[in-house]
Structure 1
Amino acid sequence: MPQSTKTAIMVIGGAEDKVHGREILQTFFYRSGGSEARLAIIPSASREPTLVGDRYQGIFGEMGAKEIRVLDIRDRAQGSDSQFQDYIEECTGVFLTGGDQLRLCGLLSDTPLMERVRQRVHLGEITLAGTSAGAAVMGHHMIAGGGSGESPNKSLVDMAIGLGIIPEVIVDQHFLNRNRTARLMSAIAGHPDRLGIGIDEDTCAMFERDGWMQVLGKGTVTIIDPGEMFQTNHQDVDPTNPISLHNMRVHILCHGDRYHLHKRSMRFIDS
């Protein structure tokens, strides 16, 4: 395991290994400072925040983090809590757990705490990780829900506003495990200025400050790039009718593969 303490944004597809090698969680631990890490766990997306918060606290405690606090935010007013804000100033890593992404955004978006987290992430001062619902909220546009297993169509995806940590992407998680390819394509058809990122379970898209994204874990990351798409009937069809997408580019990346978010180009592990 590389002992890098360079900060990153870690977007995890859910169901990350919490028992065996814990590669993704170990990477978050190291990127947050290793034995000097001061971690904030935010379980607000979960219906059982105490249980979920305690589980991650135990995992990172076993790894040897210097300090771990669960910020159990259940009311928007707590996003202005001075003790929580003071800890966000001190911490080196923030972890957003899974659950319901609408609940997470409802509690955190536009709060002083979340604004400060975003600032510190963009300054490269802390590592931010989000799994499942915590991954879905990373873009400005967010997939709030929808179906699977159909052809792309507008009724397949429900959109909302996310936390805007990586504004130019739309993230979908549990991706191939829940057959969500058409859902993400439907979202991108409606927002062709964005880049679709579909992340499988126990897989992480790790975004570095230099614009490179690296894949970690056992599954794949699917990139849906509409940059050269020249035609779609998205504006003209009823919600349940299929969407046509001409010249949409799709990349499938696995462990070690890299992709540049701004150049929209790839680099492989042996290059």
Structure 2
Amino acid sequence: MLQLDSQAHETKMPQSTKTAILVIGGAEDKVHGREILHTFFGRAGSGDARIGIIPSASREPSVIGERYQRIFEDMGAKEIKVLDIRDRVQAEDPQLQDYVEQCTGVFMTGGDQLRLCGLLADTPLMEKVRRRVQQGEITLAGTSAGAAVMGHHMIAGGGSGECPNRSLVDMATGLGIIPEVIVDQHFHNRNRMARLMSAVAEHPERLGIGIDEDTCALFERDGLLQVMGKGTVTIIDPGEMSYTNQPDVSATDPLSLHNLRVHILSYGDRYHLHKRSLIPQDC
């Protein structure tokens, strides 16, 4: 992931624009300061931004698509197109693919992450998005369900408020934008710590990222993660986990997870995804 070219494509992005991936925990401020949405807009090129909105996760894609379209129109984007894909065949549309090739930012809205992946995974349109993100040509953002799909392994659903156990989380395959992470959203707001721990126990080679509402984990092209918004980003690192009973117990039995590393990051805190280490505040 994020093995991106250092050269900006000058014909498609203003040279001064630094692309990024914004993973948003849902319920981001759409009315007042709009800091997270303004950051996406800026990273997509500000007044030169050509934005594609993908509302496919929503049961009301036209309504949610128009809402974000108005927001980015108010900010002054050069061009905005709602990619209202409701069938996998639409993701093969040459006109939509052409727009994805020309745009500078893509925003995936909330809804149902299984619906989003069912419509877009392994389609020509999503492959173009993934390639352009990895090459540093566009900025990508996903909120709520649009955040959940970022990893290769995806939390498709599950419970909350219990101790970690295998039945607490339903896993599926995501879009693989940031393959080495498992993302959970609305995190502390919906008491999902045990759910994310259960997912990490099942896939201990991955890094768990739990993102609160109105909070964003902004991933730079070099693997640096920075937190913005009003809540926290929780990182669960099983890299030094010494023991888990996950393979040996029934689905509803409590899990043992020994020597997990857990970080709680708030506004301005930074973390290096590849080194799995915190960046000191004074650096």
> What is the TM-score when the length of structure 1 is the normalising length?
0.98
1:43, CA displacement in angstroms? 0.1
Please state how far the C-alpha of 1:267 moved relative to its aligned partner: 1.2
Q: Which letter does structure 2 place at the counterpart of 1:26?
A: H
Alpha-carbon displacement from aligned partner over 1:147-168 (angstroms, at most 9, x marks no partner): 0000000000000000000000
| Displacement of 1:237 | 0.5
Matches of 1:87 and 1:270, distance apart in 2:
41
Please, which runs of 5 or more residues in structure 2 have no aligned partner? 1-15
Instruction: Select 1:150's aligned residue among 147, 162, 166.
Output: 162
Report deviation, 1:269. 3.5
Corresponding position of 1:50? 62
Superposed counterparts of 1:58-73, under 5 Å: 58-73=70-85
SS at structure 2 position matched to 1:192 = coil
Deviation at 1:186, TM superposition (A): 0.1
Q: Percent identity?
A: 78
User: 1:36 aligned to 48, 66, 69, which one?
Assistant: 48
Determine the C-alpha separation between the residues in 1 that align with 2:211 and 2:187.
Answer: 5
Amino acid at match of 2:144: S
Corresponding residue of 2:249 = 237
Provide the residue aligned with 1:220 in structure 2: 232
Q: How many residues align?
A: 268
Q: What does residue 176 of structure 1 align with?
A: 188
Moved segments of 4+, more than 6 Å = none
Question: Is the Cα contact below 8 Å between 1:233 and 1:245 reproduced in 2?
Answer: yes
Q: Please, which of 267, 272, 275 is the counterpart of residue 260 of structure 1?
A: 272
Q: Tell me, yes or no, if the aligned pair for 1:39 and 1:69 is still in contact at 8 Å.
A: yes
- Three-state SS of the structure 2 residue aligned to 1:251 is strand
Alignment counterpart, residue 202 of structure 2, candidates 182, 190, 193: 190
For 2:60 and 2:148, how far apart are their aligned partners in 1?
19
What is the DSSP-based 3-state SS (H/G/I as helix, E as strand, rest coil) of the residue aligned with 1:55? helix
1:205 equivalent in structure 2 = 217
Instruction: State whether structure 2 residue 114 is matched by structure 1 residue 102.
Output: yes
State the one-letter code of the partner of 1:131: T
Query: What is the distance in 2 between the residues matched to 1:270 and 1:25?
Result: 27
Q: Distance in 2 between matches of 1:111 and 1:227?
A: 33
Separation of aligned partners in 2, 1:15 and 1:268: 29
Structure 2 residue identity aligned to 1:37: A
CA shift digits 1:132-189 (9 cap, x unpaired): 0000000000000000000000000000000000000000000000000000000000
Q: Which consecutive residues of structure 1, in runs of 5 or more, have no partner in the other structure?
A: none
* C-alpha deviation, 1:48, in angstroms: 0.4
Note the aligned Cα RMSD (angstroms): 0.7
Q: Structure 2: which amino acid aligns with 1:59?
A: I
Counterparts of 1:28 and 1:34 in 2: how far apart (Å)? 9
Asked whether the equivalents of residues 256 and 268 of structure 1 are also in contact (C-alpha less than 8 Å), the reply is no
Q: Distance in 2 between matches of 1:270 and 1:88?
A: 39
Q: Counterpart of 1:127?
A: 139
2:193 aligned with 1:162, yes or no?
Answer: no
Q: Whole-Å Cα distance in 2 between the matches of residues 162 and 248 of structure 1?
A: 24
